[in-house]
Amino acid sequence: MSLYENALKQFNKAADLMNLDPGLKEVLSYPKRELTVNFPVKMDNGEIRVFTGYRVQHNLSRGPAKGGIRYHPDVTLDEVKALAFLMTWKCAVVNIPYGGAKGGVKVDPSKLSEDELERLSRRYFSEIRIIVGPDEDIPAPDVNTNPKVMAWYMDTYSMDVGHTVLSVVTGKPLDIGGSAGRLEATGRGVRVVTEEAANYLGLDTKNMTVAVQGFGNVGSHAALLISEELGSKVVAVSDVNGGVYNPEGLDIEELIAYRDSNGGTIKGYPKAEPITNEELLTMDVDVLIPAALENVITAENAEEIKAKLVVEGANGPTTPEADEILQKKGIFVVPDILANAGGVTVSYFEWVQGLQWYFWEIDDVRKSLHKVMKNAFADVMKARARFNCDMRSAAYTLAIEKVALATKLRGIYP
Protein backbone atom coordinates (compact mmCIF):
# COMPACT_ATOMS: atom_id res chain seq x y z
CA MET A 1 0.00 0.00 0.00
CA SER A 2 1.39 3.41 -0.98
CA LEU A 3 1.75 6.24 1.53
CA TYR A 4 -1.19 8.04 -0.10
CA GLU A 5 -3.37 4.91 0.01
CA ASN A 6 -2.43 4.53 3.68
CA ALA A 7 -3.50 8.12 4.39
CA LEU A 8 -6.76 7.59 2.48
CA LYS A 9 -7.47 4.47 4.53
CA GLN A 10 -7.27 6.47 7.77
CA PHE A 11 -9.40 9.25 6.24
CA ASN A 12 -12.08 6.81 5.02
CA LYS A 13 -12.29 5.14 8.43
CA ALA A 14 -13.04 8.48 10.09
CA ALA A 15 -15.33 9.68 7.28
CA ASP A 16 -17.44 6.52 7.57
CA LEU A 17 -17.54 6.85 11.37
CA MET A 18 -19.04 10.33 11.09
CA ASN A 19 -21.31 9.46 8.11
CA LEU A 20 -19.72 12.13 5.93
CA ASP A 21 -21.73 13.12 2.87
CA PRO A 22 -20.48 10.97 -0.07
CA GLY A 23 -19.98 14.03 -2.30
CA LEU A 24 -17.88 15.82 0.30
CA LYS A 25 -15.96 12.61 0.96
CA GLU A 26 -15.03 12.41 -2.72
CA VAL A 27 -14.03 16.07 -2.91
CA LEU A 28 -11.77 15.77 0.15
CA SER A 29 -10.16 12.57 -1.16
CA TYR A 30 -8.41 14.39 -4.02
CA PRO A 31 -5.68 17.05 -4.03
CA LYS A 32 -6.73 20.34 -5.61
CA ARG A 33 -3.48 20.79 -7.57
CA GLU A 34 -0.46 18.65 -8.43
CA LEU A 35 2.45 20.47 -10.05
CA THR A 36 5.45 18.59 -11.49
CA VAL A 37 8.43 20.63 -12.68
CA ASN A 38 11.53 19.49 -14.57
CA PHE A 39 14.21 22.15 -14.46
CA PRO A 40 17.86 22.56 -15.47
CA VAL A 41 20.66 23.47 -13.06
CA LYS A 42 24.24 24.34 -14.02
CA MET A 43 26.77 22.35 -12.00
CA ASP A 44 30.08 23.81 -10.82
CA ASN A 45 31.93 21.98 -13.62
CA GLY A 46 29.70 23.56 -16.27
CA GLU A 47 27.56 20.43 -16.81
CA ILE A 48 23.78 20.91 -17.08
CA ARG A 49 21.60 18.50 -15.07
CA VAL A 50 17.80 18.28 -15.05
CA PHE A 51 16.02 17.76 -11.72
CA THR A 52 12.39 16.89 -10.99
CA GLY A 53 10.38 18.63 -8.30
CA TYR A 54 6.79 18.66 -7.06
CA ARG A 55 4.35 20.93 -5.25
CA VAL A 56 0.94 19.55 -4.28
CA GLN A 57 -1.93 21.55 -2.74
CA HIS A 58 -4.56 19.33 -1.19
CA ASN A 59 -7.24 21.73 0.02
CA LEU A 60 -7.68 25.52 0.18
CA SER A 61 -11.15 25.83 1.70
CA ARG A 62 -9.94 27.13 5.10
CA GLY A 63 -7.12 29.37 3.87
CA PRO A 64 -3.86 29.35 1.92
CA ALA A 65 -1.92 26.11 1.51
CA LYS A 66 0.86 25.31 4.00
CA GLY A 67 3.54 22.63 4.03
CA GLY A 68 7.24 21.89 3.85
CA ILE A 69 9.60 21.16 0.97
CA ARG A 70 11.98 18.22 1.18
CA TYR A 71 15.12 17.32 -0.77
CA HIS A 72 15.66 13.58 -1.03
CA PRO A 73 16.63 11.10 -3.76
CA ASP A 74 13.51 9.02 -3.04
CA VAL A 75 10.94 11.85 -3.28
CA THR A 76 7.89 10.76 -5.31
CA LEU A 77 4.63 12.41 -6.31
CA ASP A 78 2.74 9.80 -4.25
CA GLU A 79 4.70 10.71 -1.12
CA VAL A 80 4.20 14.45 -1.65
CA LYS A 81 0.44 13.94 -2.25
CA ALA A 82 0.14 11.93 0.97
CA LEU A 83 2.01 14.51 3.04
CA ALA A 84 -0.09 17.37 1.60
CA PHE A 85 -3.22 15.37 2.47
CA LEU A 86 -2.00 14.92 6.07
CA MET A 87 -1.14 18.62 6.35
CA THR A 88 -4.76 19.56 5.66
CA TRP A 89 -5.91 17.58 8.69
CA LYS A 90 -2.99 18.70 10.85
CA CYS A 91 -3.81 22.38 10.26
CA ALA A 92 -7.51 21.77 10.88
CA VAL A 93 -7.06 19.77 14.08
CA VAL A 94 -5.19 22.68 15.72
CA ASN A 95 -7.64 25.13 14.11
CA ILE A 96 -5.23 27.31 12.15
CA PRO A 97 -6.55 28.83 8.88
CA TYR A 98 -4.54 26.83 6.37
CA GLY A 99 -5.04 24.02 3.91
CA GLY A 100 -2.45 21.31 3.33
CA ALA A 101 0.42 21.37 0.85
CA LYS A 102 3.80 19.70 0.40
CA GLY A 103 6.74 19.90 -1.95
CA GLY A 104 9.89 18.06 -2.82
CA VAL A 105 12.83 17.76 -5.18
CA LYS A 106 14.29 14.42 -6.19
CA VAL A 107 17.93 15.08 -5.24
CA ASP A 108 20.63 13.98 -2.80
CA PRO A 109 21.73 17.38 -1.42
CA SER A 110 24.84 15.88 0.19
CA LYS A 111 26.24 15.38 -3.32
CA LEU A 112 25.89 19.06 -4.27
CA SER A 113 28.16 21.96 -3.40
CA GLU A 114 26.57 24.90 -1.58
CA ASP A 115 26.57 26.95 -4.78
CA GLU A 116 24.85 24.10 -6.67
CA LEU A 117 22.31 23.73 -3.88
CA GLU A 118 21.54 27.44 -4.00
CA ARG A 119 21.09 27.41 -7.79
CA LEU A 120 18.83 24.34 -7.53
CA SER A 121 16.76 25.93 -4.74
CA ARG A 122 16.29 29.23 -6.52
CA ARG A 123 15.38 27.60 -9.85
CA TYR A 124 12.93 25.16 -8.21
CA PHE A 125 11.22 27.97 -6.32
CA SER A 126 10.95 30.11 -9.45
CA GLU A 127 9.34 27.11 -11.22
CA ILE A 128 6.67 26.59 -8.53
CA ARG A 129 6.11 30.34 -8.08
CA ILE A 130 3.05 30.09 -10.34
CA ILE A 131 1.13 28.56 -7.41
CA VAL A 132 2.97 29.89 -4.30
CA GLY A 133 2.78 33.25 -2.56
CA PRO A 134 2.00 34.79 0.85
CA ASP A 135 -1.75 34.58 0.18
CA GLU A 136 -1.74 31.34 -1.86
CA ASP A 137 0.77 28.79 -0.55
CA ILE A 138 3.47 29.27 2.10
CA PRO A 139 6.29 26.66 2.03
CA ALA A 140 8.55 25.74 4.98
CA PRO A 141 11.54 23.49 5.76
CA ASP A 142 11.27 19.71 5.75
CA VAL A 143 13.71 16.81 5.28
CA ASN A 144 17.14 18.15 4.17
CA THR A 145 15.99 21.77 3.92
CA ASN A 146 16.65 24.45 6.52
CA PRO A 147 16.49 28.20 7.29
CA LYS A 148 19.25 28.91 4.74
CA VAL A 149 17.19 27.31 1.94
CA MET A 150 14.14 29.29 3.09
CA ALA A 151 16.20 32.49 2.88
CA TRP A 152 17.06 31.66 -0.76
CA TYR A 153 13.37 31.01 -1.49
CA MET A 154 12.29 34.27 0.12
CA ASP A 155 14.95 36.25 -1.75
CA THR A 156 14.08 34.59 -5.08
CA TYR A 157 10.41 35.51 -4.74
CA SER A 158 11.24 39.02 -3.49
CA MET A 159 13.60 39.68 -6.43
CA ASP A 160 10.87 38.56 -8.85
CA VAL A 161 8.23 40.91 -7.42
CA GLY A 162 10.64 43.78 -6.74
CA HIS A 163 10.25 44.14 -2.98
CA THR A 164 10.88 42.10 0.19
CA VAL A 165 8.12 39.63 1.03
CA LEU A 166 8.80 38.08 4.45
CA SER A 167 5.60 36.05 4.56
CA VAL A 168 6.15 33.91 1.44
CA VAL A 169 7.91 31.16 3.44
CA THR A 170 8.33 30.25 7.11
CA GLY A 171 11.23 28.67 8.95
CA LYS A 172 13.51 31.54 7.90
CA PRO A 173 16.58 32.75 9.86
CA LEU A 174 15.63 35.09 12.71
CA ASP A 175 17.50 38.00 11.16
CA ILE A 176 15.27 38.04 8.07
CA GLY A 177 11.82 37.52 9.53
CA GLY A 178 11.96 34.14 11.23
CA SER A 179 10.08 33.52 14.47
CA ALA A 180 11.58 33.03 17.89
CA GLY A 181 10.86 29.51 19.10
CA ARG A 182 10.46 27.97 15.63
CA LEU A 183 13.29 25.40 15.94
CA GLU A 184 11.91 23.96 19.18
CA ALA A 185 8.26 24.24 18.13
CA THR A 186 7.49 20.66 17.03
CA GLY A 187 9.29 19.22 20.04
CA ARG A 188 7.51 21.65 22.35
CA GLY A 189 4.16 20.63 20.88
CA VAL A 190 5.05 16.99 21.62
CA ARG A 191 5.92 17.99 25.19
CA VAL A 192 2.54 19.73 25.66
CA VAL A 193 0.40 16.82 24.44
CA THR A 194 2.56 14.34 26.38
CA GLU A 195 1.72 16.22 29.57
CA GLU A 196 -1.98 16.43 28.68
CA ALA A 197 -2.18 12.70 27.88
CA ALA A 198 -0.19 11.75 31.00
CA ASN A 199 -2.57 13.77 33.16
CA TYR A 200 -5.54 12.06 31.53
CA LEU A 201 -4.02 8.61 32.14
CA GLY A 202 -3.09 9.45 35.72
CA LEU A 203 0.67 9.18 35.12
CA ASP A 204 2.92 11.18 37.45
CA THR A 205 5.13 13.14 35.06
CA LYS A 206 7.89 13.47 37.68
CA ASN A 207 8.19 9.66 37.94
CA MET A 208 7.42 8.88 34.31
CA THR A 209 9.94 6.98 32.15
CA VAL A 210 10.29 7.97 28.50
CA ALA A 211 11.98 6.52 25.40
CA VAL A 212 12.48 8.66 22.29
CA GLN A 213 13.24 7.15 18.88
CA GLY A 214 14.89 9.78 16.71
CA PHE A 215 17.24 12.43 18.08
CA GLY A 216 17.02 15.06 15.36
CA ASN A 217 15.30 18.41 15.82
CA VAL A 218 11.95 16.99 16.99
CA GLY A 219 13.21 14.15 19.19
CA SER A 220 15.99 16.08 20.89
CA HIS A 221 13.82 19.09 21.73
CA ALA A 222 10.97 16.85 22.94
CA ALA A 223 13.37 14.85 25.15
CA LEU A 224 14.97 18.01 26.55
CA LEU A 225 11.67 19.74 27.35
CA ILE A 226 10.03 16.63 28.80
CA SER A 227 13.01 16.04 31.09
CA GLU A 228 13.54 19.68 32.10
CA GLU A 229 9.98 21.04 32.26
CA LEU A 230 8.00 17.93 33.21
CA GLY A 231 10.75 16.34 35.33
CA SER A 232 10.33 12.98 33.59
CA LYS A 233 13.15 10.46 33.28
CA VAL A 234 14.21 10.02 29.65
CA VAL A 235 15.95 6.64 29.86
CA ALA A 236 16.56 5.87 26.17
CA VAL A 237 17.02 7.74 22.89
CA SER A 238 18.22 6.65 19.47
CA ASP A 239 19.24 7.90 16.04
CA VAL A 240 19.86 6.20 12.70
CA ASN A 241 23.06 4.58 14.08
CA GLY A 242 21.40 3.04 17.14
CA GLY A 243 20.47 4.07 20.65
CA VAL A 244 21.67 4.59 24.21
CA TYR A 245 20.03 3.53 27.48
CA ASN A 246 20.50 4.54 31.10
CA PRO A 247 17.88 3.33 33.62
CA GLU A 248 18.77 6.26 35.91
CA GLY A 249 17.89 8.75 33.17
CA LEU A 250 19.96 10.53 30.53
CA ASP A 251 21.29 14.08 30.81
CA ILE A 252 19.68 15.30 27.58
CA GLU A 253 21.51 18.64 27.43
CA GLU A 254 24.82 16.81 27.76
CA LEU A 255 23.74 14.23 25.16
CA ILE A 256 22.84 16.98 22.66
CA ALA A 257 26.28 18.53 23.17
CA TYR A 258 27.87 15.10 22.65
CA ARG A 259 25.88 14.57 19.44
CA ASP A 260 26.85 17.98 18.07
CA SER A 261 30.55 17.33 18.71
CA ASN A 262 30.41 13.72 17.47
CA GLY A 263 29.47 14.13 13.83
CA GLY A 264 25.74 14.42 14.55
CA THR A 265 25.35 10.99 16.17
CA ILE A 266 24.89 9.79 19.75
CA LYS A 267 26.73 6.54 19.00
CA GLY A 268 29.45 5.88 21.56
CA TYR A 269 27.99 8.09 24.30
CA PRO A 270 29.98 6.92 27.34
CA LYS A 271 27.39 7.40 30.09
CA ALA A 272 24.89 4.84 28.76
CA GLU A 273 24.79 1.36 27.28
CA PRO A 274 24.16 0.84 23.56
CA ILE A 275 20.81 -0.50 22.34
CA THR A 276 19.24 -0.96 18.91
CA ASN A 277 16.32 1.04 17.54
CA GLU A 278 14.23 -2.14 17.69
CA GLU A 279 15.06 -2.63 21.39
CA LEU A 280 14.11 0.98 22.16
CA LEU A 281 10.64 0.57 20.66
CA THR A 282 9.82 -2.39 22.91
CA MET A 283 11.33 -1.09 26.18
CA ASP A 284 9.33 -1.23 29.40
CA VAL A 285 8.68 2.51 29.73
CA ASP A 286 5.62 4.64 30.42
CA VAL A 287 5.91 6.77 27.27
CA LEU A 288 7.24 5.95 23.80
CA ILE A 289 7.85 8.82 21.37
CA PRO A 290 8.61 7.70 17.80
CA ALA A 291 10.13 10.89 16.33
CA ALA A 292 12.08 9.58 13.34
CA LEU A 293 10.63 7.93 10.24
CA GLU A 294 7.27 6.60 9.07
CA ASN A 295 6.18 2.97 9.54
CA VAL A 296 8.45 2.03 12.47
CA ILE A 297 5.67 0.54 14.60
CA THR A 298 4.35 -2.35 12.51
CA ALA A 299 2.29 -5.54 12.80
CA GLU A 300 5.60 -7.33 13.46
CA ASN A 301 6.56 -5.38 16.61
CA ALA A 302 3.31 -3.82 17.89
CA GLU A 303 2.55 -6.79 20.16
CA GLU A 304 5.87 -6.15 21.93
CA ILE A 305 5.20 -2.47 22.66
CA LYS A 306 5.03 -2.07 26.46
CA ALA A 307 4.52 1.70 26.81
CA LYS A 308 1.21 2.91 28.23
CA LEU A 309 1.34 6.03 26.04
CA VAL A 310 2.63 6.50 22.47
CA VAL A 311 3.08 10.09 21.25
CA GLU A 312 3.77 10.32 17.51
CA GLY A 313 6.45 12.95 16.99
CA ALA A 314 7.10 11.67 13.45
CA ASN A 315 4.68 11.63 10.50
CA GLY A 316 3.02 8.23 10.08
CA PRO A 317 5.23 6.17 12.43
CA THR A 318 2.47 3.59 13.01
CA THR A 319 1.00 1.40 10.26
CA PRO A 320 -2.81 0.87 10.21
CA GLU A 321 -2.32 -2.81 11.15
CA ALA A 322 -0.12 -1.86 14.11
CA ASP A 323 -2.63 0.80 15.14
CA GLU A 324 -5.32 -1.87 15.59
CA ILE A 325 -2.97 -3.98 17.71
CA LEU A 326 -2.11 -1.02 19.97
CA GLN A 327 -5.82 -0.26 20.42
CA LYS A 328 -6.54 -3.86 21.43
CA LYS A 329 -3.69 -3.70 23.93
CA GLY A 330 -5.23 -0.58 25.46
CA ILE A 331 -2.27 1.66 24.61
CA PHE A 332 -3.20 5.35 24.40
CA VAL A 333 -1.89 6.84 21.13
CA VAL A 334 -1.64 10.59 20.48
CA PRO A 335 -1.68 10.66 16.64
CA ASP A 336 0.80 12.54 14.47
CA ILE A 337 -1.69 15.09 13.11
CA LEU A 338 -2.12 16.32 16.69
CA ALA A 339 1.18 15.44 18.39
CA ASN A 340 3.57 17.05 15.92
CA ALA A 341 1.43 20.04 14.91
CA GLY A 342 3.53 22.43 17.01
CA GLY A 343 5.80 23.13 14.03
CA VAL A 344 3.06 24.28 11.67
CA THR A 345 1.43 26.24 14.51
CA VAL A 346 4.56 28.34 15.07
CA SER A 347 4.96 28.57 11.27
CA TYR A 348 1.50 30.18 11.32
CA PHE A 349 2.71 32.59 14.01
CA GLU A 350 5.75 33.43 11.83
CA TRP A 351 3.52 34.06 8.81
CA VAL A 352 1.31 36.41 10.85
CA GLN A 353 4.40 38.26 12.14
CA GLY A 354 5.74 38.58 8.58
CA LEU A 355 2.44 39.95 7.27
CA GLN A 356 2.35 42.53 10.08
CA TRP A 357 6.10 43.26 10.20
CA TYR A 358 5.77 42.96 13.97
CA PHE A 359 7.69 40.27 15.85
CA TRP A 360 6.83 38.49 19.08
CA GLU A 361 8.99 37.72 22.13
CA ILE A 362 9.76 34.03 22.65
CA ASP A 363 7.60 33.88 25.80
CA ASP A 364 4.62 35.06 23.74
CA VAL A 365 5.30 32.38 21.11
CA ARG A 366 5.54 29.63 23.74
CA LYS A 367 2.45 30.80 25.61
CA SER A 368 0.41 30.91 22.39
CA LEU A 369 1.69 27.48 21.27
CA HIS A 370 0.81 25.88 24.63
CA LYS A 371 -2.70 27.34 24.41
CA VAL A 372 -3.27 26.06 20.85
CA MET A 373 -1.95 22.55 21.62
CA LYS A 374 -3.90 22.21 24.89
CA ASN A 375 -7.12 23.36 23.22
CA ALA A 376 -6.58 20.95 20.32
CA PHE A 377 -5.96 18.03 22.69
CA ALA A 378 -9.17 18.88 24.59
CA ASP A 379 -11.14 19.12 21.32
CA VAL A 380 -9.86 15.70 20.17
CA MET A 381 -10.79 14.19 23.53
CA LYS A 382 -14.34 15.56 23.11
CA ALA A 383 -14.54 14.03 19.61
CA ARG A 384 -13.25 10.74 21.04
CA ALA A 385 -16.10 10.70 23.57
CA ARG A 386 -18.68 11.78 20.98
CA PHE A 387 -17.80 9.07 18.47
CA ASN A 388 -16.63 6.48 21.02
CA CYS A 389 -13.44 5.85 19.06
CA ASP A 390 -9.66 5.87 19.27
CA MET A 391 -7.64 9.10 19.33
CA ARG A 392 -6.52 8.91 15.69
CA SER A 393 -10.07 8.54 14.40
CA ALA A 394 -11.16 11.31 16.79
CA ALA A 395 -8.49 13.69 15.47
CA TYR A 396 -9.50 12.90 11.89
CA THR A 397 -13.23 13.38 12.56
CA LEU A 398 -12.54 16.74 14.20
CA ALA A 399 -10.36 17.88 11.29
CA ILE A 400 -12.67 16.51 8.58
CA GLU A 401 -15.67 18.26 10.18
CA LYS A 402 -13.88 21.62 9.99
CA VAL A 403 -12.74 21.21 6.37
CA ALA A 404 -16.05 19.69 5.22
CA LEU A 405 -18.00 22.54 6.83
CA ALA A 406 -15.81 25.18 5.14
CA THR A 407 -16.20 23.37 1.79
CA LYS A 408 -19.98 23.14 2.23
CA LEU A 409 -20.36 26.79 3.29
CA ARG A 410 -18.31 28.03 0.35
CA GLY A 411 -20.22 25.87 -2.13
CA ILE A 412 -19.08 24.49 -5.48
CA TYR A 413 -17.80 27.12 -7.95
CA PRO A 414 -19.22 28.20 -10.38
Q: State the amino acid at position 297 in one-letter form.
A: I
Which is nearest to 153 in space by CA: 138, 135, 136?
138
> Cβ–Cβ contacts within 10 Å for residue 329, how many?
13
Is 402 tagged catalytic? no
φ, ψ dihedrals at 216, nearest 5° = -85, -150
Instruction: Answer for the pair 235, 249: CB distance below 8 angstroms, yes or no.
Output: yes
Q: Classify residue 171 by its DSSP letter.
A: S
Report the alpha-carbon distance of residue 237 to residue 244 in Å, rounded. 6
Catalytic residue among 32, 81, 102, 233: 102
Q: State the amino acid at position 330 in one-letter form.
A: G
Which is nearest to 288 in space by CA: 379, 357, 219?
219
3 state SS of 143? coil
Q: Tell me the pairing of strands 233-239 and 209-213.
A: parallel
Instruction: Answer for the pair 180, 365: CB distance below 8 angstroms, yes or no.
Output: yes
Report the alpha-carbon distance of residue 237 to residue 246 in Å, rounded. 9
Burial class from Cβ neighbours inside 10 Å (0-12, 13-18, 19+) for residue 263 reads exposed
Residues acting as catalytic residues: 102
